[in-house]
């Protein structure tokens, strides 16, 4: 009997066309595109083409597209960028049911003198907007 996998939020198999597009870079054309030597650096154009394609797909500019290695790195980079963009704001509002990559990051920020509010969710996983408003997320302390 076939399995029904219900956690595509966590990972998915790659589509055959994705595998086909990626195969050369897993086999013959591998290397580190950030290398200073040609063996890897010749792949920089491939990355930039992919960046431009993703940007076009989501209506962004290529310079707004950052490739990361995983969800944890993405979450950490996004939160860090938001905090860096507003250094005067020291209050993070999140939900109590975020992925551990978010919650652990917030715990670290608490030790760095950020105030963190963890909003509860109801049995359907929904936030009460009233709680969000009461958390006063735009305050600077
Ligand atoms: C919402 C969410 N954030 C972050 C992650 C972590 O992703 P990774 O294991 O790629 O670091 C997951 C993984 O399931 C996730 O579902």
Residues with Cβ within 8 Å of 129's Cβ and at least 6 positions away in sequence, in order, are none
- To test ligand 1's pocket by mutation, which of 78, 99, 125 has the most ligand atoms within 8 angstroms of CB? 99
- Position 97 scores a pLDDT of 95
Atom of ligand 1 nearest to the CA of 10: 14
- pLDDT single digits (tens) 9-56: 888 999 999 999 999 999 999 999 999 999 999 999 999 999 999 999
Percent of residues, the chain, with pLDDT higher than 70: 96
136 φ/ψ angles, rounded to the nearest 5 degrees: 55, 55
Whether 70 is in the pocket of ligand 1, judged by its Cβ within 6 Å, is yes
Whether 99 is in the pocket of ligand 1, judged by its Cβ within 6 Å, is yes
Q: Whose CA is nearest to atom 2 of ligand 1?
A: 99
- Rounded to the nearest angstrom, the distance between the alpha carbon of 37 and the centre of ligand 1 is 33
- Rounded to the nearest angstrom, the distance between the alpha carbon of 36 and the centre of ligand 1 is 32
Which H or E run contains 73? helix 71-85
- Please compute the mean of the pLDDT values over residues 98-126 and round it to a whole number: 96
Residues with Cβ within 8 Å of 65's Cβ and at least 6 positions away in sequence, in order, are 51, 54, 55, 58
- Please compute the mean of the pLDDT values over residues 87-107 and round it to a whole number: 95
- Please compute the mean of the pLDDT values over residues 104-130 and round it to a whole number: 94
Whether 69 is in the pocket of ligand 1, judged by its Cβ within 6 Å, is no
Confidence of residue 135 (pLDDT cuts 50, 70, 90): confident
The domain limits of the chain are 16-64, 88-134
Residues with Cβ within 8 Å of 58's Cβ and at least 6 positions away in sequence, in order, are 65
DSSP structure class, residue 31: S
- Position 81 scores a pLDDT of 95
- Position 78 scores a pLDDT of 95
pTM: 0.82
- Position 131 scores a pLDDT of 87
d(CA 86, CA 96) in angstroms, rounded, equals 23
The mean of the pLDDT values for the chain is 92
User: Would you say residue 137 has pLDDT above 60?
Assistant: no
């Amino acid at each position: 009997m076939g399995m029904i996998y219900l956690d595509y939020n966590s990972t998915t198999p790659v589509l055959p066309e994705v595998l086909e597009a990626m195969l050369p870079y897993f086999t013959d054309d591998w290397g580190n595109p950030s290398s200073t030597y040609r063996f890897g650096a010749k792949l920089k154009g491939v990355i930039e083409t992919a960046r431009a394609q993703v940007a076009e797909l989501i209506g962004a500019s290529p310079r707004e597209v950052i490739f990361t290695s995983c969800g944890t790195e993405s979450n950490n980079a996004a939160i860090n960028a938001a905090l860096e963009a507003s250094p005067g704001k020291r209050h993070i509002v999140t939900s109590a049911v975020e992925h551990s990559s978010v919650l652990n990051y917030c715990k670290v920020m608490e030790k760095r003198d950020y105030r963190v509010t963890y909003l509860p969710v109801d049995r359907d996983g929904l936030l009460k907007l009233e709680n969000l408003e009461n958390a006063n997320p735009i305050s600077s302390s």
